[in-house]
A and B are shown apart, each in its own frame.
Chain A
Amino acid sequence: MHQIRVHGRGGQGVVTDAELIAISAFEDGKQSQAFPSFGVERTGAPIESFARIDNKPIRIREQIYNPDVLVVLDVSLFKGSDILGDCDKKTQIVINTGKNKDQLGLSLPLKNIYTVNATQIALDIIGKDVANTTTLGAFAKANKLISIQGLEKAIKQKFNEKGKDIVDKNIKAVRQAYK
């Protein structure tokens, strides 16, 4: 079983990210689960969400304490909260940042750190500061837990009600981040 935890702030689409990961994995033919950290929804407050991927049905409901992959949508969270506290040498971390990974000063092996300037890609393509979907393009590339095709299907499914334009722009942004 692979366990993924997403960190960000209220309004950044943290919960949506875990859901997209789970839907993508399901579309890839795997079993999956996603749930939020059940916080009160306040814009700007630190938010966590969780996703699990496995080859067999997932029974466990516990929150994720030792993630295999950590997704960080907002680097300001490294200050003031200990989101890396339960990560170890094996934890992979996918970060939305314009900085190089060696500039971040994180206490994790550099080889496990993947960065993507998802905010910039989102601003360029979607025209809004919504880095959540774009970051998942880099996520798919970094660990192959989900396929880019699965992710595109998930975006179509999840954003269908928002219209074709939003779906297309998000898929374009995700492909850009996957490169």
Chain B
Amino acid sequence: MQILEGSRAIAYTIKNISPEVISAYPITPQTHIVEDLAQFKADDKADYEYVLAESEFAAASIIAGASSAGSRVYSATSSQGLLLMSEVLFNIAGMRLPIIITCANRGVSAPITIWNDHQDAVTIRDAGWIMFFAENHQESVQQHILAYKIAEKLNLPVMINIDGYILTHSYEPVFIPNASKIKKFLLKKADTNTKLLDPQKPITMGAFASPNYYMEIRQKLHQDIMTSAEVIKNEYEKYIKIFQPKNRDHNNKYKSFDNGLIEYYGPPEPQTILIAKGSVVGTIKEMVDNYKKVGVIKVKVYRPFPEEEIKNIIKKVKNVAVLDKSISLGQEGPLALDVKALKATYELKSKIQGFVVGLGGRDITQKMIKDIISLSQKQSSKNIFICK
């Protein structure tokens, strides 16, 4: 174990994963992740090519190109930067490139904000990426390593979301697996089945698809993302066996259920469940310990949506409060909508209440969580904004 800034922990992890090409746009909104990775390269401590891009659109395009030629690649971005990448993100998924990007989640302008929420990530939710969300430094390290395994196994891109500032700029103890262990866990290049650009054997990638073909290609992408859930679960099990240091939860009141897609923390028969993603789950766990009948589901994988797992836990629960650090303006919080859809599909009796919290860096306090728990047991309306 060592104590590191979140960004540094991710940078070390990426260095140990040994990508071949990294490209990033280094100006705001950016994190220390790519700064550190550039420094490792400058200090001759890393072998990858570090390509300085002129924008996030270019950074995403550069790694898309390098990945098409068979390189393991990486980039990190945030908020406006992610949105500037969005067109390329859709292309990356459509071309089935096993690309990994870290999104340090931040709000989106205007008004100008540099602070944390999840609006950036949920806005590109439909791009065709597997989307991880991490609660703490250890989980973000774990998810980055898992991401490469899953991406290269399935030819699907994976985005790891970590809360901007709250995780990227905070210090806490973390364990970074070494390069040789990671190498053993990940696929060998010969075992990947990406179609590569090769001047000797020319192919076209991301080609024109007429109405006769486009729909089936999209359907296949959707099905593959849906079935990736099983692969994520299996790889998570393997990961825990190989890498996980002594259980972080050893002093917790409850033992967690965690299958890589979700984590449930709380009593065996809760009456109220909170559902959230990212670092706020830590604060919620702290509050759960003060109640007898309250638990929390952490959505670790947001796409594919872990419908089955969430349904199984909430089906007998009276009140469900869903916390979103984002909003589909004119509708509701996106995660709340997903849970409500699940209620309709499975005809659940649970009352689902959506809460919008923490927009643009608003601190989410224990008092707010307490208020959410009591409000979820009373009212029923759309979108309660918890501002203070």
A residues bordering B, Cβ < 8 Å? 18-19, 22-23, 26, 31-36, 38, 40, 55-63, 65
Contact = CB atoms under 8 A, between A and B. Distances in A.
B contact residues, range: 20 to 34
Interface in B266-284: 279-280, 282-283
A60 B286 contact: yes
Interface centre among B5, B116, B249, B363 (most CB of A within 10 A): B363
B280 A61 contact: yes
B169 A56 contact: no
Contacts of B114: 40
A14 B106 CA distance: 23
A58 B136 CA distance: 10
B-side binding surface: helix, strand, loop or mixed? mixed
A38 B115 contact: yes
Given A34-B171, A35-B169, A36-B165, A57 B248 contact: yes
Contacts of A18: 171
B126 interface: no
B380 interface: no
Contact of B166 (A22, A35, A55, A57): A35
Contacts of B286: 59-60
B3 A60 contact: no
A38 B170 CA distance: 10
Nearest to A31: B173
Given A60-B286, A61-B283, A32 B366 contact: no
Interface in B239-266: 248-251
Nearest to A21: B171
Contacts of B363: 62-63
A62 B364 contact: yes
Contacts of B248: 57
Contact of A60 (B115, B165, B283): B283
Interface in B16-64: none
A38 B171 contact: no
Contacts of A34: 170-172
